[in-house]
Amino acid sequence: MELFKHQIKALQWSANRNNFACFMEMRTGKSLVALQKIKTWGGKTLLVAPLSTWFDWLKLFKSEGIKSIALLGSTKEKCKRLDIFYELVDLVLINPEGITAWGKDFFDYEFNNCLLDESVFIKNPKSKISKLLMKHKKLFYHRMVMTGTPIAETTEDIVTQMMWCLGEFMGQDNFYKWRARFMQPAKFGWSLKKGVKALLRDELKKDSFVLSAKDAGMYAEQVKKVYLVEMPAEIQEDYREIQKAWMLDEVSTKYGVVKDTWLSQLSCGIYPIDLEGIKRASFCFKIKAIQRLLEGELIGQQVVVFSRWLKESHAIAKYLKCDVITGATEFEERESLLNKFRRGNSKYIVMQTKCACRGLDLSCVNTAIMCSNYWQYEIRSQIMARMKHPLKKIPTLFIDIITKDTIEEKVYEVLNEKHSNARYFLQRLKAKVKVKA
């Protein structure tokens, strides 16, 4: 496969480096860069990647002629499969959960190189996967981290990723030593000391290859539209009841985030299963809006529909008589359904949002409908990037279906402020809802 200029630039930057921190924005082709890099390094490679990215990885292995094995099933099944094929393959693919379940015994197998795709999964130094990988990082001659969004929620998310990759970062080889030097206790945990954010970003720029899609010459403006819908009167009554009960402290839970989740579900017509006092069947009323769009301005177009909620995903797929991919969909089935959609054999496909936000190539489609948003900007930006491609110059249309006078309007406003910091998001959301009330 021929490399683009920005991919060649990435490889040139990493030419004399034993380890490679590669933060190329989504759809710029960092996976191909990674494969070219391990060919240069030589030896056997371990690739740790979320399951949702496997479809395109396996497709790329095939096109590049790389002998690989993907480890699925129980730990016992993985072990048996790896024992059989270990000497026959150049690359072993496993998900983070697979290593966590396997534990330290996994590292008895020898690998020259280790790549972490969507490496934010090691942002938390306390997590089991982070501890395992940090403890055994010196077993690999070459290490590589790669993601389009290295800072998932807070600025310090990058630290563990860089320490695992490079051995040390900003003069420290341990997160807690780094925290003691560059952070200070705050009301809700820790905060960066004055001037550290700029220093951290300067160090990141020096020690990693960072590239945006725009700088790669791939930028095509996406057209964003909001399609407002009215909430049915009976659901609106229950929605207001929850708001009122919350203010009077009559609800069954004391946590505000739970209340906001309930309101988000009701904004899509889904009744929370643990909602006391209100027992109604869910009614996914946004389907009518989808129908009007598909029979109107989107008539004849191939469309992907995203939803946060499982009930909503299945209800939309049932109405459209199309395939649906959720967290429960097996990997092999996902591959089959995506191939069917990419070949144009199906007009529509419904996807639970988190299943689509990592690695999947949906550049075959120019139109997407978002029925229910997650609260993380990172997830939304990943989803919007699924329809990009280096050779695609047609602006894509991204439609948000939002229920009027509900928490969804506030969520959309905060998401468009592009705050990837989850804690700050919740603070902004709380402020906006309070002002509205």
pLDDT tens for each residue of 311-333? 999 999 999 999 999 988 888 88
Residues 6+ positions from 88 with CB-CB distance below 8 Å? 67, 69
Query: Which amino acid, one-letter code, is at 131?
Result: K
Q: Say which residue, 66 or 245, is predicted with more confidence.
A: 66
The two structure tokens encoding residue 69: 């094995």
Of 248, 254, 370, 363, nearest in space to 308 by CA: 370
What is the residue-averaged pLDDT of the chain?
A: 85
Q: What is the pLDDT of residue 255?
A: 54
Task: Looking at mean pLDDT, say which of 90-104, 138-152, 153-167, 371-385 comes out highest.
Answer: 90-104
Residue ranges of the domains in the chain?
A: 5-211, 223-436
Residue at 145: amino acid letter? V
Looking at residues 38-47, what average pLDDT do you find?
Answer: 96
Judge whether residue 434 has pLDDT over 60. no
Rg of the chain over CA atoms, in angstroms?
23
252-264 confidence digits (pLDDT tens): 445 567 778 888 8
Separation of alpha carbons 267 and 290, rounded Å: 15
End-to-end CA distance of the chain: 56
How confident is residue 420, by pLDDT bands cut at 50, 70 and 90?
very low
Least confident of 1-5, 93-97, 385-389, 431-435: 431-435
Per-residue pLDDT of 191-204, as tens digits, reads: 999 999 889 889 98
Please return the burial class of 418, using the count of CB atoms within 10 Å of its CB with bins 0-12, 13-18 and 19+: exposed
pLDDT bin (cut points 50, 70, 90) of residue 291 is very high
List b or e across 190-207, with b for residues whose CB sees 16 or more CB atoms inside 10 angstroms. Answer: ebbeeebeeebeebbeeb
The CATH T-level fold of domain 5-211 is: Rossmann fold (3.40.50)
Q: For the residues of 126-173, what is the DSSP string, one character each?
A: TSHHHHHHHHTGGG-SEEEEE-S-S-SSSGGGHHHHHHHHHS-BTTBS
Q: Work out the pLDDT band at 246, boundaries 50, 70, 90.
A: low
Q: What is the pLDDT of residue 297?
A: 80
- Tell me how far apart the alpha carbons of residues 411 and 317 are, in angstroms, rounded to a whole number: 25
pLDDT at 431: 61
pLDDT at res. 12: 97
Q: How far apart are CA 90 and CA 68, in angstroms?
A: 6
Residue 250 scores a pLDDT above 90: no
Q: Could you give the angle at the alpha carbon of 61 between the alpha carbons of 94 and 142, nearest 5°? A: 60
State the pLDDT at residue 256: 61
Cβ atoms 324, 299 nearer than 8 A: no
Instruction: Please check whether the two domains, 5-211 and 223-436, share a CATH topology.
Output: yes
CATH number of 223-436: 3.40.50.300
